[in-house]
Structure 1
Amino acid sequence: MSIPVDLADLARTLEQYGPGYLLSTAGESVKAVSADPVLSDGVVVVAGPGGGSLRNVTANATVTLLFPPREERGYTLLVDGTATVDGDDVRVTPGHAVLHRPVDHAGPDHAPGSTSSCGHDCHPVT
């Protein structure tokens, strides 16, 4: 189950999540590192992710930021984007974002107080 997140709402959505992970790929290697991204003027800045991540971004600018759910069976926030290296930091221009969880995690007990008409697995971004 994936629910698109309007990039105009990304800052508000990010406030609901804690630290995330920067995933970048280059050639045959994949690197995932803990990060505390900050959204600034529409760009997600990841401070000092490390040399391996910087090399990966230099070789392949496509990255994904993953923010795990804050509650059991909650939604993971995935932000895909294009990255550049800026000194020791990585700057990600978001291209697409979704809230995602397996469909089998849905259920009426996971949407307390929901007034949405889109079903018990709908999670509006507010």
Structure 2
Amino acid sequence: MSIKVELDALDAALGDFGYAYLLTTGTDAKPHAVAVTPALVDGVFRIGEPGRRTGANAQVHPIVSLVYPPATPGGYSLIVDGEAELAGSELRVRPTSGVLHRPATAEHPATNPGCEADCRPLAN
């Protein structure tokens, strides 16, 4: 189940989350994940100084994702796609899309006929 998050609403959505995983891809096409604590400043995520591999990956393939894990089991993850750039020693990510997501499982009310308050189908 996914709910689109408008870019101007990211700041409000972030209140429910702590850290994120930054996902990058290297020249070998292998994914690389690191835990980060980004700050959203003027619509851009500021991550601080990236590690050697993360920085190199972002320079080669600037399309990245930030995945904020759910605060509670069964809760939503926040997934933000964006474009990364190195600005001095800081990695910055300009978001291009965001979505709240969680699996639709039989244990979750959203898959049952009596849909709970957070069941919102996406328009095609």
TM range, smaller chain: 0.7 to 0.9
How far the C-alpha of 1:59 sits from its partner, in A, is 0.2
Aligned to 2:50: 49
Superposed structure 1 runs of 4+ greater than 4 Å apart: none
CA deviations over 1:26-52 (Å, ceiling 9, x no partner)? 222321111010000000011122111
Unaligned runs of 5+ residues in structure 1 are 109-118
Residue segments in structure 2 that go unaligned for 5+ positions in a row: none
Note if 1:18 corresponds to 2:18. Answer: yes
Which residue in 2 is equivalent to 1:111? none
* Percent of residue pairs bearing the same amino acid type: 37
- Residues 66, 79 of structure 1: 8 Å contact kept: yes
Paired residue total: 114
Aligned-residue offset at 1:122: 2.1
Note closer, same or farther for the CA distance 1:86–1:9 as it changes in structure 2 (3 Å cut): same
Tell me the TM-score normalized by structure 1. 0.84
Q: SS at the partner of 2:86?
A: strand
Deviation string 1:85-112 (CA, Å, 9 cap, x unpaired) is 112221001000000011115217xxxx
How far residue 120 of structure 1 moved from its aligned partner, in angstroms, is 1.8
